[in-house]
A and B are shown apart, each in its own frame.
Chain A
Amino acid sequence: MAAPVISRAAEQSPSATQKLTIGKALNLGLRTAMENDPKVIVMGEDVGKLGGVFRITDGLQKDFGEHRVLDTPLAESGIIGTAVGLAIRGYRPVCEIQFDGFIFPGFDQIVSQVAKVHFRSEGRLRMPMVIRVPFGGGIGAVEHHSESPESYFAHTAGLRVVSCSNAVDAYWMLQQAIQCEDPVLFFEPKRYYHSGALRAEVDTAVTPAPLFSSQVLRTGNSATLVAYGPSVKVCLDAAAAADEDGTSLEVIDLRTLSPLDLGPVFESVRKTGRLIAVSEAPANSSLTSEIAMRVQQECFYSLEAPVLRVTGFDTPYPPTKLEEHFLPDLDRVLHAVDRALAW
């Protein structure tokens, strides 16, 4: 992993704090990465004039030109495939996939090419590219616009997979992912892009945490909640609610999904004896399965209860009016906490 990025803007003012939404933090992160490295290229559907359907690339084409911020033809396989070529040529493409459900036309390029170029060339070729994916539900969208496909990619050797849950990470993790020499799938919690509640102070002058590390966001003793992306907020809310009832929950934001950094989770479970893994992605053969397996292997004698999971159902993502059933919420998380504590 490369050293943490210090943006030029940040170098000038030692403490440059701005209050940003996740969406604005991603935008600033992209902008900074493009300023720092002329090889960074942003490409995707409608990322130019429109600034992307979520406006994450807002203003970038105006400032960096059409050669660096490209509205591509409408072809995900083409977006990823040409990014492979750009990377071979020494560029650092940052691809935007418009919605989670539309990554699949590019799946073949990701799984068979992006993930294997380094291996197949015996390390002669590197794949420094980022594939940004707005993911998850809760936005009242039609089908294919609310999915959580991260486990497919975590399952694939040769890819790195991360997800941010807050504005500070959005700003830093995106820049770190762009600096990474390996391909990074970057999952963004689209539900909270423009959430005022998640607006946070982003200090662009600090040294950020390493990209491939998990973080304890709240300490507690009764049980541990582990999550990533949009589910982190659900867990933090649950922990706040439980606190009022005298139950102290530890909350860990996974941040990196592949490789997993489960050290902090093991440490936490050794303390609390109970773990609940939360994700919008269905449970079957998923990241939460992997977490549960490794925790039982590492922390077997510390566990007071089986590892529990609160996830989406093993069904396709439902129509909007049923999504509240599907999405893990405060009640379901707290119910799982009760079950774990009652074991």
Chain B
Amino acid sequence: MEPVQLLDPDGRLTQDENWPLELTPELCRDLYRRMRLARRFDEQAYVLQRQGELGLWLQSLGQEAAQVGSISAVRPDDHVFPSYREHAAALCRGITPAELLVQWRGSRNSGWDPATYRFHIYTLVLAAQLPHATGYAMGVQRDGTDEIVLAYFGDGAASEGEANETFNWAATTEVPLLLFCQNNQWAISTPAHTQTRTSLHQRAQGFGLEAHLVDGNDILAVHAVTAAVAERVRSGGGPAMIEAQTYRMAGHSTSDDPDRYRDASELDSWKTRDPIHRLERLLEERGWMNDGFRADLEAECEVFANRTSQECKQLPLQDVSTLFNTVLAEPTPLLTEEHRRYAELVASFAE
């Protein structure tokens, strides 16, 4: 099956009656701006890792359209369960650079309050967030509100039992859940065809979910499909799944060495499908991007990058007492005693 595509790699637009999109200059500029900011942030985080300011960084490079296009198509009060590479989506929700980077700097395990942004903390154990999203949606279902739940996962994670249990569970409980798979073709060194022989959206259909395949580097298609599917889920149509075909343009992480397992030519071919360039061409062709907008955005990106660096370097160290105080709602006597003894020990070294 061909993925839904509205904007081809050269920026040519076609309309698709199944996936109506009210195309306005404002929408296109907004999506473009968010992708540019996300990419600039990602580049800066990469630099910070190379400077030793971050322990590790997992780039979202190349996946901006899949993330920005999808999260901008749901409501701000729809709860999101990300995996760990959803930086562009997180930024759209207003999560700050400091909040996003603190985990990768190694100062805390998570950086933001999930309730504030309606965006759950990152989950590093693959696919574990998917049953959580399903359960959260069961709660929404019982509360009778019209929120939906959006959950992100990758092509690799789709092989875990929990992903497949989620497909089945969501289908049988008819929860208001939208599962969004970013198939970026690689799980570290393992290509998608090692993970699966049917495409993932077809697998989801087999479980009884409404599922669609979309060109994940076409932000207009991602946005249109997600918006339409989200509204069906919201109006009681049952859970759905979207597979976005995209590409991890960087290594898996800053510790990875992709040259060991993939051809440079593959990356080159995906570079011609870069999600940002595509929308840029449309904006240019339509005359929706004047010099003022361009200059303002360049400046905004640089300010954002500087802010990212500064906030990162100023992140405070966590006090060791938070270790003992955050394990449970109430510390146990064992934890209290360990904490006391450790504080005593540290004090004795200081003497």
Q: Determine the chain A residues whose CB is within 8 A of the CB of B141 once the complex forms.
A: none
Is A315 an interface position by the 8 A CB rule? yes
Give, as a whole number of angstroms, the nearest-CB distance from A228 to chain B: 22
Is A50 an interface position by the 8 A CB rule? yes
Contact partner, A321, options B56, B106, B255, Cβ 8 Å: B106
A332 to B, closest residue via Cβ: B345
Is A141 an interface position by the 8 A CB rule? yes
Chain B interface size, as a band, is 35 or more
B162 near A313 with CB under 8 A, answer no
A318 near B190 with CB under 8 A, answer no
A13-21, A67-75, A118-126, A235-243 - the one binding chain B: A67-75
| Bitwise interface map of A from 321 to 343 toward B, beta carbon under 8 Å scored 1, else 0 | 11001100001100100000000
| Bitwise interface map of B from 319 to 342 toward A, beta carbon under 8 Å scored 1, else 0 | 010011001000000110010001
B33-41, B152-160, B267-275 - the one binding chain A: B152-160
Q: Determine the chain A residues whose CB is within 8 A of the CB of B159 once the complex forms.
A: 73-75, 78
A335 near B107 with CB under 8 A, answer no
Is B115 an interface position by the 8 A CB rule? no
In Å, the complex CA distance between A144 and B56 comes to 14
Contact partner, B324, options A49, A313, A332, Cβ 8 Å: A313
Q: Determine the chain B residues whose CB is within 8 A of the CB of A50 once the complex forms.
A: 188-189, 260-261
A105 near B124 with CB under 8 A, answer no
Is B228 an interface position by the 8 A CB rule? no
Q: Determine the chain A residues whose CB is within 8 A of the CB of B107 once the complex forms.
A: 319-321
A71 near B323 with CB under 8 A, answer no
A140 near B106 with CB under 8 A, answer yes
Q: Determine the chain A residues whose CB is within 8 A of the CB of B249 once the complex forms.
A: none
B257 to A, closest residue via Cβ: A50
| Bitwise interface map of B from 25 to 37 toward A, beta carbon under 8 Å scored 1, else 0 | 0000000000000
Provided the pairs A105-B160, A322-B323, A332-B345 are in contact, do residues A49 and B318 lie with their beta carbons within 8 angstroms? no
B-contacting residues, A197-234, CB 8 Å: none
Provided the pairs A319-B106, A325-B323 are in contact, do residues A73 and B195 lie with their beta carbons within 8 angstroms? yes
In Å, the complex CA distance between A73 and B127 comes to 13
Is B103 an interface position by the 8 A CB rule? yes
| Bitwise interface map of A from 298 to 330 toward B, beta carbon under 8 Å scored 1, else 0 | 000000000000000111101111100110000
Q: Determine the chain A residues whose CB is within 8 A of the CB of B196 once the complex forms.
A: 73
Is A4 an interface position by the 8 A CB rule? no
A71 near B104 with CB under 8 A, answer no
Give, as a whole number of angstroms, the nearest-CB distance from B258 to chain A: 9
Is B223 an interface position by the 8 A CB rule? no
B258 to A, closest residue via Cβ: A50
Is A189 an interface position by the 8 A CB rule? no
Provided the pairs A78-B159, A313-B324 are in contact, do residues A46 and B335 lie with their beta carbons within 8 angstroms? no
Contact partner, B194, options A73, A102, A325, A326, Cβ 8 Å: A73
B188 near A53 with CB under 8 A, answer yes
In Å, the complex CA distance between A325 and B317 comes to 13
Give, as a whole number of angstroms, the nearest-CB distance from B299 to chain A: 33
Q: Determine the chain A residues whose CB is within 8 A of the CB of B187 once the complex forms.
A: 45, 74
A322 near B188 with CB under 8 A, answer no
Give, as a whole number of angstroms, the nearest-CB distance from B338 to chain A: 6
Contact partner, A144, options B124, B195, B327, Cβ 8 Å: B124
In Å, the complex CA distance between A284 and B333 comes to 12
Give, as a whole number of angstroms, the nearest-CB distance from A317 to chain B: 9
Q: Determine the chain A residues whose CB is within 8 A of the CB of B334 once the complex forms.
A: 284, 314
Q: Determine the chain A residues whose CB is within 8 A of the CB of B338 once the complex forms.
A: 313-314
Q: Determine the chain B residues whose CB is within 8 A of the CB of A75 once the complex forms.
A: 159-161
Is B131 an interface position by the 8 A CB rule? no
Is A143 an interface position by the 8 A CB rule? yes
| Bitwise interface map of B from 214 to 227 toward A, beta carbon under 8 Å scored 1, else 0 | 00000000000000
A98 to B, closest residue via Cβ: B188
Q: Determine the chain B residues whose CB is within 8 A of the CB of A319 once the complex forms.
A: 103, 106-109, 318
In Å, the complex CA distance between A46 and B261 comes to 10
In Å, the complex CA distance between A104 and B125 comes to 10
B125 near A320 with CB under 8 A, answer no
Give, as a whole number of angstroms, the nearest-CB distance from B135 to chain A: 18
| Bitwise interface map of B from 147 to 176 toward A, beta carbon under 8 Å scored 1, else 0 | 000000000110111100000000000000
Q: Determine the chain B residues whose CB is within 8 A of the CB of A264 once the complex forms.
A: none
* Extra A-B contacts (11), CB below 8 Å, given A50-B261, A71-B194, A102-B126: A49-B189, A72-B194, A73-B195, A75-B161, A77-B161, A78-B161, A142-B56, A144-B125, A314-B335, A315-B324, A332-B345
Q: List 21 A-B contacts (CB under 8 A).
A: A45-B187, A46-B189, A49-B189, A49-B261, A73-B190, A74-B160, A75-B159, A75-B161, A105-B125, A105-B162, A140-B106, A313-B323, A318-B323, A319-B103, A319-B108, A320-B106, A320-B107, A321-B106, A321-B107, A321-B318, A335-B348
Binding site for A on B (CB under 8 A): 55-56, 103-109, 124-126, 156-157, 159-162, 187-190, 194-196, 255, 260-261, 317-318, 320, 323-324, 327, 334-335, 338, 342, 345, 348-349
